[in-house]
Structure 1
Amino acid sequence: MPQLNPTPWLAIFVFSWLTFLIFLPPKVMAHRFPNEPTLQSTEKPATESWNWPWH
């Protein structure tokens, strides 16, 4: 099985990872949700028991 010359592949590997680590994270982190989440109230809603008509 022939061996590949590692010189061009190492450069491709390094430049691709530099692209991933330098240029893409700011672009991904710039996205915002259309609606910011709001805090829910901590009070529990009042629950009532059901009146079953056949019981």
Structure 2
Amino acid sequence: MPQLNPSPWFAIMIFAWLIFLIIIPPKVMAHTFTNDPSPQNANFLKTESWTWPWH
């Protein structure tokens, strides 16, 4: 039964993992997004404390 021979499948698995671990990550990390978020307003509003009576 040839499907029990691990020799060709082991090499295919090693080459696939090398592709996944070495070649693909730099390509994914080099991707730039077209719509980078930018801050709309750098001024922060001062929040006021509540004036409710707590009793």
TM range (shorter): 0.5 to 0.7
The TM-score, its normalising length taken from structure 2, stands at 0.61
What displacement does 1:40 show? Answer: 5.2
Q: What is the identity, as a one-letter code, of the residue corresponding to 2:5? A: N
**Structure-2 separation of matches of 1:8 and 1:34:** 42
> What TM-score comes out, normalization by structure 1 length?
0.61
Amino acid at match of 2:12: I
Where do 4+ consecutive residues of structure 1 move more than 4 Å? none
Please list every run of 5 or more consecutive structure 2 residues that lacks an aligned counterpart in the other structure. Answer: 47-55
Aligned length: 43
